[in-house]
């Protein structure tokens, strides 16, 4: 593998990424995952247009603290100029450790504007966007996240990885599903392995890593330079330290106790409330419930706990649980 210039892929390193997940991987959740062993964090995707138009809410979505570095900000869009301008603004204002371009989102409202996974159907535009962003930010490495292709009859994993490398992208995360699959079926790690062997920039494998044993298997068999973990981390941010121990062949950490799980849930609620912008004058924090629910998954009586959380209106209601 050629040097990517990204320090977290340095000699002997095998970084664990927290996958970007819209509606979940806010600053507070990213901080939790960092604490439990995630090496690299990525913000949820934001559209280039509102960044360029200076929409405060969009800028708030991608805020991060220096303690969370390395952090990448993920952007999406279908227009090379706007993507390039958004990247310049990000570089100037936030100095992220990298800017990641989303070529994987399967959502209808994204692909219908030919952004996200939609671009896997139009190689020339995909490459033009990647090139424009790379050129726009001389001081910030650009990476990309993609799927295998649009559908089973148009798999482009290896080609797309080459197009992106050719455009100057410094690392590529691959979610082993097509756009048509959404989140169904299983991630195809053979395809990920093929792409990892075909390019010299680091490839980060993503899809269905739910435990340390699977992570170890993927590391050994796919030739990727790092792993990215999404949904499994939402209910179990401790997974990162379990995987790390497995990769280092050391004893696994003691699993969190129920009290620790509950404390983490409460801590997350507190940080979310503190970082909400703008805070609601009536103290209504029901907006945060969908973010808290995944963390209840492994607490005994989870269903009852979720019912009680659903009846909460304020942070005090939640903390008094
Ligand atoms: C709720 C949710 C939101 C997501 N948002 C994003 C996003 O903003 N950007 C992105 O590249 N992928 C996004 N993804 C995809 C994940 O990053 C990841 O590729 C996918 O969940 C597969 O990994 P996993 O099997 O470890 O969950 C999202 C996934 C979920 C479940």
Query: What confidence score (pLDDT) does residue 1 get?
Result: 52
Percent above pLDDT 90 for the chain: 93
Q: How far apart are CA 235 and CA 246, in angstroms?
A: 19
Q: Quick one: average pLDDT of 233-244?
A: 97
Angle at 218 between CA 96 and CA 186, to 5 degrees: 95
What average pLDDT does this structure show over 203-230?
98
Cβ–Cβ < 8 Å for 219, 225: no
Q: Report pLDDT for 70.
A: 98
Instruction: Show Cβ contacts of residue 263 under 8 Å, excluding neighbours closer than 6 positions.
Output: none
Split at pLDDT 50, 70, 90, the class of 10 is confident
Residues of the chain by 3-state class (helix, strand, coil), percent to 5: 50, 10, 40
Q: State in Å: Cα 61 to ligand 1 middle.
A: 16
Once rounded to an integer, what is the mean pLDDT over residues 245-258?
95
Domains in the chain with CATH codes? 7-248 (3.20.20.70), 258-319 (no CATH)
In percent, the amount of the chain with pLDDT more than 70 equals 98
Q: What is the pLDDT at residue 275?
A: 82
Residue owning the nearest CA to atom 26 of ligand 1: 230
Other C-beta atoms closer than 10 Å to the C-beta of 83 total: 27
- The pLDDT assigned to 280 comes to 72
Residue 111 has pLDDT above 60, yes or no: yes
Q: Is 312 a catalytic residue?
A: no
Give 283's pLDDT tier (boundaries 50, 70, 90): confident
Question: Which pLDDT band holds residue 3 (cuts at 50, 70, 90)?
Answer: low
The one catalytic residue in 33, 82, 105, 239 is 105
Q: What average pLDDT does the chain have?
A: 95
**How far apart are the CA of 19 and the centre of ligand 1, in A?**
6
What is the three-class DSSP state of 152? helix
Quick one: average pLDDT of 242-271? 95
pLDDT confidence band for 15 (50 / 70 / 90): very high
| CB-based contacts of 180, cutoff 8 Å, min separation 6 | 106, 150, 151, 152
Q: Give yes or no for a contact between 181 and 160, defined as CB atoms under 8 angstroms apart.
A: no
The yes-or-no verdict on residue 277 having pLDDT over 90 is no
State the average pLDDT over residues 142-150: 98
The answer to whether the CB of 20 is under 6 A from ligand 1 is yes
Per-residue pLDDT tens over the stretch 189-203: 999 999 999 999 999
């Amino acid at each position: 593998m050629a040097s990517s210039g990204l320090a977290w892929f340095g000699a002997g390193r095998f970084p664990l990424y927290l996958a970007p997940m819209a509606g979940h991987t806010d600053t507070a959740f990213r901080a939790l995952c960092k604490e439990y062993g995630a090496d690299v964090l990525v913000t949820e995707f934001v559209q280039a247009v509102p960044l360029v138009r200076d929409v405060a809410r969009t800028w708030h979505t991608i805020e991060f603290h220096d303690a969370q570095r390395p952090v990448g900000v993920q952007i999406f869009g279908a227009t090379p100029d706007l993507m390039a301008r958004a990247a310049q603004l990000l570089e100037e204002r936030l100095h992220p450790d990298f800017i990641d371009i989303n070529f994987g989102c399967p959502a209808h409202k994204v692909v219908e504007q030919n952004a996200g996974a939609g671009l896997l159907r139009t190689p020339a535009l995909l490459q033009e966007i990647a090139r424009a962003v790379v050129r726009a930010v001389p001081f910030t490495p650009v990476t990309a996240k993609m799927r295998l292709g649009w559908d089973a009859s148009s798999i482009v994993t290896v080609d797309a990885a080459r197009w992106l490398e050719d455009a100057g992208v410094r690392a590529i995360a691959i979610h082993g599903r097509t756009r048509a699959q959404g989140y169904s079926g299983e991630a195809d790690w053979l395809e990920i392995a093929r792409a990892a062997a075909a390019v010299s920039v680091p490839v980060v494998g993503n899809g269905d890593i739910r435990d340390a044993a699977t992570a170890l298997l993927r590391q050994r068999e796919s030739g990727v330079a790092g792993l990215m973990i999404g949904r499994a981390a939402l209910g179990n941010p401790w997974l990162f330290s379990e995987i790390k121990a497995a990769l280092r062949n050391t004893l696994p950490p003691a699993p969190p106790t129920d009290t620790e799980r509950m404390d983490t849930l409460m801590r997350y609620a507190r940080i979310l409330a503190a970082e909400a912008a703008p805070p609601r004058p009536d103290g209504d924090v029901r907006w945060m419930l969908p973010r808290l629910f995944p963390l209840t998954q492994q607490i005994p009586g989870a269903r009852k706990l979720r019912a009680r959380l659903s009846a909460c209106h304020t942070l005090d209601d939640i903390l008094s649980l």
